[in-house]
Amino acid sequence: MLDRLIGLAMLIAASVVFLYYTIWTLLMPFVDQDHPLQSLFPPRVWAIRIPVILILLGSAVVGSFLSVVMIRSNRKRALKAKAGKKA
């Protein structure tokens, strides 16, 4: 039951973020700069910067994870090879 609740919360959060970003990038350029709705959104330059930062950060995390897994795998292989030579 808890997993369904967490999944629903994640789905709602993702939907809200998607709708906010879509409105920000697709609709707000057609609204006047002095309209009160403009105060709800950051400057448009951040519509590009935020995804680029997230992609770079995600790539760094995935690359670090793969590096750690490969290093540990090579250490295990080296220990097995040493144990095989001694026996």
Q: What is the pLDDT of residues 19-50, one digit of tens each?
A: 999 999 999 999 999 999 999 999 999 999 99
Average pLDDT over residues 47-64: 97
pTM of the model: 0.72
Q: Percent of the chain scored above 90 by pLDDT? A: 86
Sorted by where each begins, the domain ranges of the chain are: 1-41, 44-87
End-to-end CA distance of the chain: 52
Q: Compute CA distances 20 → 6, 42, 65, 78, whole Å.
A: 21, 11, 31, 51
Mean of all residue pLDDT scores within the chain: 94
| 86 has pLDDT over 80 | no
